[in-house]
Amino acid sequence: MANITVCLLGGTGFVGRSVAADLVERGHTVKVLTRHRERNRDMLVLPTLTMSEGDVNELGFLREQFQDADVVVNLIGILNSSGKNNFQRIHVELAAKVAEAMQQTGVRRLLHMSALHTSKDGPSKYLRSKGEAEEILRQSSLSHDFDLTIFRPSVIFGPLDSFINRFASLLRIAPGFLPLACPQARFQPVYVEDVAACFVRAIGDHDTYGQEYNLCGPKAYTLYELVNFVAELIDVRCRILGLSDWQSRLQAAFMQWVPGKPFTLDNYNSMKIDSTCDSGFPEVFEITPASLEAVVPTYLRKRSRQLDLFRRLARR
Ligand SMILES: NC(=O)c1ccc[n+]([C@@H]2O[C@H](COP(=O)([O-])OP(=O)(O)OC[C@H]3O[C@@H](n4cnc5c(N)ncnc54)[C@H](OP(=O)(O)O)[C@@H]3O)[C@@H](O)[C@H]2O)c1
């Protein structure tokens, strides 16, 4: 595929950084839109990457940034709604603005990040708003005549993830036991580099135009199994206490008032649906998805060794 210019929304995030690096490696020009250029300066080492600071919720800003783009990739998403940064604005209204700005600037290709089992009737605001955004984009792709591809991954893992790493942090500070909400919720984690590769391959592959892909790793686990796996890897002896449904709900109701909202009632509601796939990885991408067992030890054990070293040094 010839060198193209990709306007990347959400490019500074966990998934976005992998997508950006992959695009640059393939010789494409990448323009990342961000609210915090200085904070993400490190990304500018990538030779064909530039950054534009601004508010993606402003139609004028999007229009300006899309002028020279061949493709738009929207990875922006939030897990918790708060004030102005709410699901309606960040998922639904932003999707509509992206479609409108594309129409106004003549960009004909959009790759959109959603999530597994999103639906307008989903159990949580997160899943409903993601589902509503998908619906808007499906309609707009027909009326505004652009080629849309939607990706719906299960939970994503990788060195910068906030899922595996969060449980590792919690386990490291747990006082010998960890009360775990929704222990039987099921996930089929998918590796961030596999997700990024799908985005990059889909850009110029006409077979993916108008398609929607669920992305899952090779194996499904309960949350309980995942947390045990992490505890074993980082060599923390901790009793994981699976909470019942009402206890999980209570924990969420309490934790959503803790700064940083580590677990909310909406997160609890999202977990009512298993985040697993019915079929294998989409063949069109010719990817054998990496397993959790193959990848997670490479970053979790390394971090554990670093922490051990810091602890030893601190005692001296
Ligand atoms: N991580 C997962 O396990 C997972 C699973 C399924 C689906 N997804 C979806 O994948 C996408 C990327 O996830 P991620 O884990 O990479 O997220 P992330 O690390 O939290 O990054 C989110 C990105 O969105 C931008 N952003 C966040 N809030 C914003 C706001 N209020 N206004 C404008 N921009 C905002 C941030 O840009 P700046 O701060 O630079 O402006 C950042 O680049 C999301 O749509 C998410 O829902 C993720």
The dihedral formed by the CA atoms of 147, 55, 75 and 161, expressed in degrees to the nearest 10: 170
Band (pLDDT 50/70/90 cuts) for residue 57 is very high
Q: Where are the domains of the chain?
A: 5-157+189-215, 165-184+219-315
What is the predicted pLDDT for the residue at 271?
Answer: 97
Using CA atoms, how far apart are residues 158 and 175, in angstroms rounded to an integer? 26
Mean pLDDT of the chain: 95
What is the predicted pLDDT for the residue at 221?
Answer: 98
| Residue 167: CB atoms within 10 Å | 23
Q: Has residue 315 got a pLDDT over 80?
A: no
What is the predicted pLDDT for the residue at 105?
Answer: 98
Q: Which residue has the higher pLDDT, 217 or 309?
A: 217
- Would the CB of 273 count as within 6 Å of ligand 1? no
Band (pLDDT 50/70/90 cuts) for residue 251 is very high
CA distances (Å), origin 119, targets 166, 227, 249, 273: 27, 28, 22, 11
- Would the CB of 137 count as within 6 Å of ligand 1? no
DSSP for the chain reads: ----EEEEETTTSHHHHHHHHHHHHTT-EEEEEES-TGGGGGGGGSTTEEEEES-TT-HHHHHHHHTT-SEEEE----SS-BTTB-HIIIIIIHHHHHHHHHHHHT--EEEEE--TT--TT-SSHHHHHHHHHHHHHHHHHHHTT-EEEEEEESSEESTT-SSHHHHHHHHHH-SSEEEESSTT-EE--EEHHHHHHHHHHHHT-GGGTT-EEEE--S--EEHHHHHHHHHHHTT---EEEE--HHHHHHHHHHHTTSTT-SS-HHHHHHTTS-B--SS-S-GGG---PPPHHHHHHHHHHHHHHHHHHHHHHHH-
Band (pLDDT 50/70/90 cuts) for residue 301 is confident
The token pair that represents 105 in the structure block: 């600037």
Residue whose Cα lies nearest atom 19 of ligand 1: it is 13
Q: Which residue has the higher pLDDT, 144 or 298?
A: 298
- Would the CB of 10 count as within 6 Å of ligand 1? yes
What is the predicted pLDDT for the residue at 1?
Answer: 72
Residue whose Cα lies nearest atom 11 of ligand 1: it is 75
5-157+189-215 CATH, one of 3.40.30.10, 3.20.20.70, 3.40.50.720, 3.10.105.10: 3.40.50.720
Residue 41 dihedral angles phi and psi, to the nearest 5°? -55, -35
- Would the CB of 13 count as within 6 Å of ligand 1? yes
Q: Which atom of ligand 1 is nearest to the CA of 91?
A: 45
- Best residue for ligand 1 mutational test, from 75, 126, 128, 155 (most atoms within 8 Å of Cβ): 75
7-11, 131-135, 244-248, 298-302 — which is least confidently predicted?
298-302
b/e code 1-30 from CB counts within 10 Å (16+ = b): eeebbbbbbbbbbbbbbbbbbbbbeeebbb
What digits encode the pLDDT tens for the residues 185-208? 999 999 999 999 999 999 989 999
Q: What is the mean pLDDT of residues 220-230?
A: 98
What is the predicted pLDDT for the residue at 312?
Answer: 63
Ligand 1 centre from 11 Cα, in Å?
8
Percent of the chain with pLDDT over 70: 95
- Best residue for ligand 1 mutational test, from 8, 9, 14 (most atoms within 8 Å of Cβ): 14
Residue whose Cα lies nearest atom 5 of ligand 1: it is 155
What angle, rounded to 10 degrees, do the helices at 292-315 and 223-233 form? 50
End-to-end CA distance of the chain: 56
Q: Has residue 316 got a pLDDT over 60?
A: no
What is the predicted pLDDT for the residue at 106?
Answer: 97
What is the predicted pLDDT for the residue at 151?
Answer: 98
- Would the CB of 160 count as within 6 Å of ligand 1? no
What digits encode the pLDDT tens for the residues 79-138? 999 999 999 999 999 999 999 999 999 999 999 999 999 999 999 999 999 999 999 999
What is the predicted pLDDT for the residue at 64?
Answer: 98
- Would the CB of 268 count as within 6 Å of ligand 1? no
Using CA atoms, how far apart are residues 31 and 90, in angstroms rounded to an integer? 20
Ligand 1 centre from 195 Cα, in Å?
14
- Would the CB of 16 count as within 6 Å of ligand 1? yes
Using CA atoms, how far apart are residues 197 and 204, in angstroms rounded to an integer? 12
- Would the CB of 98 count as within 6 Å of ligand 1? no
Ligand 1 centre from 239 Cα, in Å?
32
Residue 231 dihedral angles phi and psi, to the nearest 5°? -60, -40
